[in-house]
Amino acid sequence: MCMIKFKNALYLASCLKLCCLFFLLSLLSACQSVTQPHPEIALAQQVGFKASLIKTNDFEFTYLIKKNPASQKLVIYIEGDGRSWIKKSILSRNPTPPYALGLRLAIQDPRSDTVIAYLTRPCQFTQQKPTPDTCDAKYWSSHRFSEQVIANMNQAVDHILSTLPSNTTLELIGYSGGASVALLLAARRKDVIRIRTVAGDLNHDKMSTYHHTTPLLYSLNPIHFISNLKNIPQIHYIGTQDNIAPGYIAEDFMNKIKQNQNKNQPKPELIRVQATHQTGWEAQWAKLLILKTIMN
């Protein structure tokens, strides 16, 4: 009788150990799946960028930064709209870009005297799949440039600056839809010393007309903030083969700036580049950053 009880106790102990082992393995697997970085994030980490999360009032943003302790200059790259649409009439469930050109431009930035940072747009590179409860699709469609979005991204910029010396200067670089974000942020800030846009959506009303899509009625438009932007030096890079953000939209925006400037205010520059909306930029970016001549 005692022998039977002893064997039963050993059996139960073995089962308990196996259960604990399976639980720990499943927990470890879950942790690895959550912390495993997106391939685009991993690419940046390989060259010295560190990834972190910023929690603002309404969103959680992923940002990456490559710090230089001796630098008092900061440049923030702002990502494009990402994979916002699957087809012209079908919204994506997750706007994370499979090929993050905004991030890849940040990686190519050769400036050794500058802190280089990268900021995602709402709901991109999130650890959880966006759902209506955590991140509504309107934030990468009709409300992508809404007051709520821009205010929260402004909080994210404030957070990044708070980790650096108080006299750090700020430059904003926006790709595609990120160009509108960069301009809208600069229009409400007093510390932006330069704006650069790459294949930029600088007027979403004109973009909607060009693509025959629904106007972004709930979004702010940089073209309405010319008076706030005319004192800030700007360089707008357009692709000669870009059929997503046609160059005439940037040209029109630049002309509006010039029409509202006096002779002492910095004239915006326009640089044409042999590139499509997404290809051709990465290989040329390091040289374009130091290019001073306007290419007409």
Query: How far is residue 253 from each of residues 145, 203, 216, 233, measured CA to CA in Å?
Result: 17, 7, 18, 14
Quote the pLDDT of residue 88: 67
Quote the pLDDT of residue 128: 59
Quote the pLDDT of residue 93: 80
Q: Tell me: pLDDT of 162 over 90.
A: yes
Q: For residue 276, name the pLDDT band (cuts at 50, 70, 90).
A: very high
Quote the pLDDT of residue 16: 52
Quote the pLDDT of residue 130: 64
Q: Tell me: pLDDT of 282 over 50.
A: yes
Question: Looking at domain 37-289, does it have CATH number 3.40.50.1820?
Answer: yes
Q: Taken in order 247, 251, 256, 258, is the CA torsion positive or negative?
A: positive
**Out of 77-91, 148-162, 199-213, which region has the weakest mean confidence (pLDDT)?**
77-91
* Residue 74 contacts residue 169 (beta carbons within 8 Å): yes
Quote the pLDDT of residue 23: 45
Q: Taken in order 26, 129, 135, 171, is the CA torsion positive or negative?
A: positive
Q: For residue 37, name the pLDDT band (cuts at 50, 70, 90).
A: confident
* Residue 191 contacts residue 168 (beta carbons within 8 Å): no
DSSP string of the chain, one letter each residue: -HHHHHHHHHHHHHHHHHHHHHHHHHHHHHHHHHHPPPHHHHHHHTTT-EEEEEE-SS-EEEEEEE--TT--EEEEEE----S-EEETTEE-S----SS-HHHHHHHH---TTSEEEEEPPTTTT-SS---TTTS-GGGGTTTTT-HHHHHHHHHHHHHHHHTS-TT-EEEEEEETHHHHHHHHHHHH-S-EEEEEEES----HHHHHHHHT----TTS--GGGGHHHHTTS-EEEEEETT-SSS-HHHHHHHHHHHHHT--TTSPPPEEEEES--SSSSHHHHHHHHHT--S-B-
pLDDT tens digits along 79-103: 999 887 776 667 778 889 999 999 9
pLDDT, mean of residues 248-254: 97
The mean pLDDT value of the chain amounts to: 87
pLDDT, mean of residues 40-65: 94
Q: For residue 240, name the pLDDT band (cuts at 50, 70, 90).
A: very high
pLDDT, mean of residues 28-54: 76
Quote the pLDDT of residue 133: 66
pLDDT, mean of residues 185-200: 98
Q: Tell me: pLDDT of 157 over 50.
A: yes
Query: How far is residue 10 from each of residues 1, 17, 164, measured CA to CA in Å?
Result: 15, 11, 60
Domain boundaries defined on the chain: 1-36, 37-289
